[in-house]
Amino acid sequence: MSDPVGNAQTTPVSSHGGAATTHTATPQSKAAQEKKRRERSQVVIHSYPKYLYTWPLILMAALFPLLGGDKHEVVKGWIFLGTLVLVLMAIGFDLNRNLTISWVITIIAGVFCALWLDSKHVYLFSDIGHYLANRTPIVSPDWQYLFAMFGGGLYFIMFLDARINQRWRIGRNEIEHFAMLSKDDSLGRGAKRIITSYPDFLELLLCGAGTIQIYSAQGGVLLRSIPNVPLLFFRSDAISRILEATEVSPTGDEETDVQENSANEELGDGHGG
């Protein structure tokens, strides 16, 4: 039936007999898709100092006074002391896989040695255990509040500084380092080798942290090292997907390295050829 005004009206009909529905992408949806695409094509990480691993101490110092109860003060003191030893070991030692296995074997052997000595009526380790059991490492709530306040303030400053000055963006074409009020740095992806490693078991245990090392195409020169990256254990797959998304020919990169080395040698001679 024609339209009274004289303008033909057409309604798209689907193959199933119903009216077809057409969807037009709005600018908002396009912007959201573009943002999601950029997020998939890059990973932003931050490198922190060793103070990063003190968070369990600050958290315990803030929570323990809220728990109350004088009966458990000794237990909380021992927990705080054990955590302090763990944090100091994470900061002061690099326990790689082999060293961690050696420490575990040594501790197990020490336990069996202590039990064997007890069976021989040599009570050296038993006396040490009784001495420690009779200690009362009680930490006052006021001390814990002050520790949490000052330690937490320093932790916030450290966190803010790392977010501003130790920001790294790993993309498909380059690796960039951003620092406020300083010179930004970037490396072309090229055929460089990027290795994700976990040099310290305790750092991995406390923060899931590891180190990203960037080598030259031949693998003999360390170009950049990004240490103490938290949650790297959970983000390594995303980094691998980005690095594998674009294939790069190593030939051009090696030729560029050779040309740059030749230019550096000429500048070093001071004659320019």
Predicted structure pTM score = 0.68
Predicted confidence (pLDDT) at residue 196 exceeds the cutoff of 90: no
* Helices within the chain (DSSP H only): 27-40, 55-67, 73-92, 97-119, 124-133, 141-165, 201-207, 232-245, 250-269
Domain boundaries, the chain: 50-162, 168-264
Where residue 249 falls among pLDDT bands split at 50, 70, 90? Answer: very low
Task: Calculate the alpha carbon distances from 84 to 108, 113, 151, 170, 196 in Å.
Answer: 22, 27, 13, 34, 28
Predicted confidence (pLDDT) at residue 15 exceeds the cutoff of 70: no
> Of the segments 73-87, 117-131, 232-246, which one has the largest average pLDDT value?
73-87
Across 3-19, b (16+ Cβ under 10 Å) vs e yields eeeeeeeeeeeeeeeee
Tell me the two tokens of residue 198.
Answer: 């976990």
Write 54-59 long-range contacts (CB < 8 A, 24+): 54/87, 54/91, 54/151, 54/155, 55/155, 55/206, 55/207, 56/83, 56/86, 56/87, 56/206, 57/83, 57/84, 57/87, 57/147, 57/151, 58/147, 58/148, 58/151, 58/152, 58/155
Where residue 157 falls among pLDDT bands split at 50, 70, 90? Answer: very high
Tell me the average pLDDT across 79-88: 93
Which residue would you say has higher pLDDT here, 157 or 21? 157
Q: In percent, how much of the chain has pLDDT > 90?
A: 29
Where residue 10 falls among pLDDT bands split at 50, 70, 90? Answer: very low
